[in-house]
Amino acid sequence: MASNEATKKVDLVRGAARGPANPPPARPATPARAPQKRATPGEFFAQVRDEARKVTWPTRRETTITTIMVFVMVVAASLFFTVVDQALRFVVGLILGV
């Protein structure tokens, strides 16, 4: 791989300029944002209350079903990893002769 100095010498001999022939036009500066007005604590909690009213809360039935599904998936995952762990333990025991 040629060094930077050697590359420059070769470019001078060739007469080739590095980089694009026509540089891209300068990008316009982004406009500055106006500083936002800070909310007082009272306004903040009023906004929080308004946003909480917009939330669609799950029913008791939906929450119960979701909770049961989480427990089922935890049991299924624990059984899967137990079986895989025991299988790997058996294979390693065969390989090492323990």
pLDDT computed for residue 29 by the predictor? 79
Cβ–Cβ under 8 Å, residues 47 and 54: no
Quick: pLDDT tens for 3-62.
Answer: 677 777 777 777 655 565 666 777 887 777 877 888 899 999 999 999 999 999 899 999
Q: What is the mean pLDDT of residues 75-91?
A: 97
| Cα–Cα distance for residue pair 13/63, rounded to 1 Å | 76
Record the pTM.
Answer: 0.47
**Cα gap 48→54, rounded to integer Å:** 10
Residue extents of the structural domains in the chain: 61-97
76 vs 36, higher pLDDT? 76
Q: Which helix (H) or strand (E) holds 5?
A: helix 4-14
Mean pLDDT calculated for residue range 62-75: 98
26 by DSSP, 3-state: which? Answer: coil
Average pLDDT over residues 71-97: 96
Tokens 């939906």, residue located: 62
